[in-house]
Amino acid sequence: MSAPERRAETSETNRTLIIVVAIASAVLVAVFFYVLMRASSGGGGGEPRLENAIREGSPQFEEYKSKIYRDEPEATEAKRALGDTVMTLTTTVRNLTGKTLSGLEMRAAVVDYEGKPIKQRTVVVVPTSQQQELLPNKLMQVNVMLDGFKDTDPRANIQMEIAAFKFKE
């Protein structure tokens, strides 16, 4: 075997090796981004719940819910590099109950044309590190981020509602 034949053979082997490594790397990157998208679309741990709160069905819930006023929610959306769309729902909540709220749980949803939720999320907005309680006659802005929307999702409307609350004792 002459030197040029060996070089050509070695060159072919190197080229094949480079192609195999490139394909394997591309597959690993694709799997990484797939796992990252699945993890960010909410699967773990369940929704947060406000312990010992006044919830729907309680006589106090209807009495005080009308005194915890919230503005009509607004939404902004943005595309992420991962290919999905993120929506941030925003509203302002006013405490007109005459009592200090030590806990507030809100549910945010994006619904389709039939009113069925496409994506929804429940968050505890009081207490947090920024807002320990909501004093009487005060207000606060509430933002809830919903991610994982596809361009084909029929996003017809948004909803933000009070799910539970509790008062400072």
Residue 4: pLDDT band with limits 50, 70, 90: low
Domains of the chain, residue spans: 1-40, 54-167
Average pLDDT over residues 85-106: 95
Encode burial over 37-69: b for 16+ CB neighbours within 10 A, e otherwise.
Answer: eeeeeeeeeeeeebeebbeeeeeebeebbeebe
Q: Which CATH topology does 54-167 take?
A: Immunoglobulin-like (2.60.40)
Residue 9: pLDDT band with limits 50, 70, 90: low
pLDDT at 3 over 70: no
Q: How far apart are CA 90 and CA 12, in angstroms?
A: 59
pLDDT at 39 over 70: no
Q: How far apart are CA 118 and CA 120, in angstroms?
A: 7
